[in-house]
Chain A
Amino acid sequence: MADVVFDQASRVYTAGAKPAVDRLDLEIADGEFVVLVGPSGSGKSTALRMLAGLEEIDGGEIRIGGRTMVGVPSRDRDIAMVFQNYALYPNKTVGENMAFPLKMRGVEKSVQQEKVRAAADVLGLTDFLDRKPKALSGGQRQRVAMGRAIVREPQVFLMDEPLSNLDAKMRVSTRTEIAAMQRRLGVTTVYVTHDQVEAMTMGDRVALLADGRLQQFATPADLYDKPANRFVAGFIGSPAMNLFTLPVSAEGVHIGSSELRLPREVRGRISADTVTLGIRPEQWAVANGRGTAGGGADGVGGDGAGSGVKAQIDVVEELGSDAYLYAHLDDEEQTPVVVRTGGRTGARRGDQVVLTPTSEDLHLFDAESGERL
């Protein structure tokens, strides 16, 4: 058991180029499950591999249990890693694969077998111990990779997109299994994924990276409710948050042909002429000219037509319980907007609707820097 600290840790692949990981600061508590999430190429794998000892730490420091890892080879770090393509040893049986880390540490044969059997039991691999990895399904291989990591009883688990090669259903079930197993074992875990749903459902805390930089490190709820900047706001949540860069008016902002009034306290935070306003798809109430559209939520924030925004629906996606309306505002750019409503709205393509924010809790970002206001 150990805590993990990234202290201004950087990695530069080629001298002079932009760092793949740029002065990363993370403090991960003992037993915590932390997810590194971000778009492809944001440096998640690099950060994890630096922790694993597979990449150099070119600047700053990484500490495991208070001990600096600069210059410490992988095998002396007491970590276990699950790779994206599992990286099973093709010439070894499932049992030998799982026993390998123990064998390399000179653990006695009988103890090895005992631990492998116990892990195989938990993972449902008992019948496959004598098979080669080639004769296993994707899900079984994934479990072997997990088994190889847990027999070690390491200080830290590292996982690099371990679910990305599974089908959608397996991914959901394995997701909960991994989270449950981590809670049971209580081993500090750093988990890399590009999938924000995995990040939000699995992590105690989530670190969001973009371009090698940490954007925000917070609990899933905080990440969703208080995104630190425009990038986080757009990345977390599906469909993504609607982000509009709007001119500021006396009482609020101009949006489309109408004016959206903002609470005085919120308006007070804006100092520039323009501001980026973020409204999540579920924070809209939908009404049409001839009354509320279908089963859409009632507007609460709008006091009269003055607060509403006119829009025209382009596409309706019925998901059963919910529906997504893809529309565009009646401004010159035809700014696209996404609305999430209850199912069976009866809304159609081409309908004119009036959208009203339902919540006072709107997100405002500086139009220049993208930082939360």
Chain B
Amino acid sequence: MKLFELGERTAQVHDVLVTVAELAERDDARAVLLESADDPALLRPYLNRLDLVVLRFSIFRDGRGFTQARELREYLRFSGEIRAEGHILPDQAAFLRRCGVDSVVLPKNGNGDPGLWEKQLRQFPIAYQRSVLPERAIGSGFRVEEAP
């Protein structure tokens, strides 16, 4: 498994990764795997002990993970690491980061080239909306500087 860091937090490796259903039984679990259909609010009772939430993308077109990440950051104030894995594209790097994702498991095909991910993170100098990151506003409008 090759990890790529999107910028915010350093990626940590965890030996135990459990599903949401398993969390209640496993007091030792510090990392949980969220499927796209899982409601992040289910993690509320466990947030204090969780270091890592992994969002699984079954296909890159299914964008539920972006909303899950934002809910974790914005509603649940989760301050640990969020990681995306599964079918993801380098073209999604900045979207993931701006929704609060810190790292990705690089896909094992051409989409896993770290150079592409690196490049994509720097593709756009600005963005046209606020995100969960503390990005600097440009002037009095709502454009922000996108700093990788």
A binds B: no
**Interface residues, chain A, with chain B CB atoms under 8 Å away:** none
**Interface residues, chain B, with chain A CB atoms under 8 Å away:** none
